[in-house]
């Protein structure tokens, strides 16, 4: 059942993981969805899942950290799917390392994709939202925003996204635009699989160990996060803005 207006959403990093689950979820709620990722070939599966269920979707190649690519991608979405008034800044990468081993490139890549990427995408979409008198922005933060060993770059980016979100809420509220952040804990995706490899553990053992420390005694799945994002993007959530929602199976210390 469609529970929302037929608006256009962009989900970045939607070829797989949390982004793919979010794109599918927003489409199921009646949004036309731009499935944006570095290479549009990798977006095909997400687009097919959406169209097979009767939804509308478009695969779009874009590096969110590149101004020219972001401008072109948002213009293409507006022309082919309609003005984007829902934006989920989800694209992300890890370059984990202890501080003394962290290279300039490790720092710059993570800050560029997460923080600069969210800034560029939001700046490119905001005029469409202002024109529509409606907008929903959701930024993917993380429990790592509270600090996490080996993730100085990622923690800084994810904490930065919380300040970015609150500022957007204050600047854009008068145009009918809300901005919120979803901060997942451990979600089973290729990203956490990569972390398991880094620490030299099998993914199943890594998940089991993580689950033991989570109050609901399981790790998250992408759909757990997609549900929280869907709430913030709904028409009914218009009075909820500038919030950070931890989706982590329990409270965090
Ligand atoms: P994922 O499986 O690694 O997926 C990330 C996606 O982003 C990939 O498809 C990747 O494309 C794409 N991407 C990377 N750089 C990009 C760029 N410059 N422009 C466009 N797309 C780009 O990650 P995930 O676990 O679903 O995480 C999604 C978001 O949730 C991230 O922001 C992450 O930091 C956040 N998060 C995840 C967890 C977790 O436990 N999984 C916890 C907290 C927060 P390629 O495959 O081509 O690189």
100-126 pLDDT, tens digit each: 999 999 999 999 999 999 999 999 999
Rg of the chain, C-alpha, whole Å: 17
Q: How far apart are CA 208 and CA 78, in angstroms?
A: 43
Please indicate, yes or no, whether residues 230 and 210 belong to a single structural domain of this protein: no
The verdict on whether 231 is a catalytic residue reads no
Please indicate, yes or no, whether residues 139 and 209 belong to a single structural domain of this protein: no
CA of 55 to the centre of ligand 1 (A): 23
Does the beta carbon of 113 sit less than 6 angstroms from any atom of ligand 1?
yes
pLDDT band at 3 (very low <50, low <70, confident <90, very high): low
Does the beta carbon of 186 sit less than 6 angstroms from any atom of ligand 1?
yes
26-60 pLDDT, tens digit each: 999 999 999 999 999 999 999 999 999 999 999 99
Residue percentage of the chain with pLDDT more than 90:
97
Give domain status of residue 251, yes or no. Answer: no
Please indicate, yes or no, whether residues 129 and 204 belong to a single structural domain of this protein: no
Please indicate, yes or no, whether residues 70 and 133 belong to a single structural domain of this protein: yes
CA of 174 to the centre of ligand 1 (A): 31
Nearest CA to ligand 1 atom 3: 191
Give domain status of residue 3, yes or no. Answer: no
Sheet hosting strand 177-184, strand order edge to edge: 57-61, 32-37, 8-12, 84-89, 135-140, 177-184, 244-247
Among 92, 153, 162, 213, which residue has the most ligand 1 atoms within 8 Å of its CB, making it the best to mutate? 92
Please indicate, yes or no, whether residues 179 and 231 belong to a single structural domain of this protein: yes
User: Residues 69-75: contacts with CB within 8 Å, 24+ apart?
Assistant: 70/117, 70/120, 70/121, 70/124, 71/124, 73/34, 73/36, 73/124, 74/10, 74/121, 74/124, 74/125, 74/128
Nearest CA to ligand 1 atom 27: 18
pLDDT at position 242 over 50? yes
Please indicate, yes or no, whether residues 139 and 238 belong to a single structural domain of this protein: yes
Give domain status of residue 240, yes or no. Answer: yes
Give domain status of residue 109, yes or no. Answer: yes
Total count of domains within the chain:
2
- List the domain range (segments joined by +) for residue 45: 8-185+223-245
Q: How many CB atoms lie within 10 A of CB 9?
A: 30
Q: Supply the CATH number for residue 81's domain.
A: 3.40.50.720
Q: pLDDT value at position 1?
A: 41
Give domain status of residue 1, yes or no. Answer: no
Smallest CA-to-CA distance from 40 within 57, 15, 16 is with 15
Q: How long is the chain?
A: 253
Count H helices, E strands: the chain? 9, 7
């Amino acid at each position: 059942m469609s529970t929302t207006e037929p608006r256009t959403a962009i989900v970045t990093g939607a070829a797989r993981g949390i982004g793919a689950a979010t794109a599918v979820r927003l489409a199921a709620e009646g949004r036309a969805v731009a499935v944006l990722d570095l290479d549009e070939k990798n977006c095909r599966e997400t687009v097919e899942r959406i169209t097979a269920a009767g939804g509308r979707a478009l695969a779009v190649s874009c590096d969110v950290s590149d101004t020219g690519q972001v401008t072109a991608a948002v213009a293409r979405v507006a022309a082919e799917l309609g003005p984007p008034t829902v934006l989920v800044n989800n694209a992300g990468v890890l370059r984990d390392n202890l501080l003394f081993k962290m290279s300039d490139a490790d720092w710059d890549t993570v800050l560029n994709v997460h923080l600069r990427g969210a800034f560029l995408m939001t700046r490119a979409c905001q005029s469409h939202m202002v024109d529509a008198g409606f907008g929903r922005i959701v930024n993917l933060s993380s429990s790592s925003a509270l600090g996490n060993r080996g993730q100085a770059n990622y923690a800084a980016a994810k904490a930065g996204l919380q300040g970015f979100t609150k500022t957007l809420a204050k600047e854009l509220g008068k145009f009918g635009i809300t901005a919120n952040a979803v901060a997942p804990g451990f979600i089973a995706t290729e990203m956490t699989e990569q972390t398991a490899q880094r620490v030299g553990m099998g993914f199943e053992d890594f998940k089991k160990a993580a689950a033991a420390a989570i109050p609901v005694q399981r790790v998250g799945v992408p759909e757990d996060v997609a549900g929280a994002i869907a709430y913030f993007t709904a028409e009914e959530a218009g009075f909820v803005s500038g919030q950070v929602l931890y989706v982590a199976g329990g409270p965090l210390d």
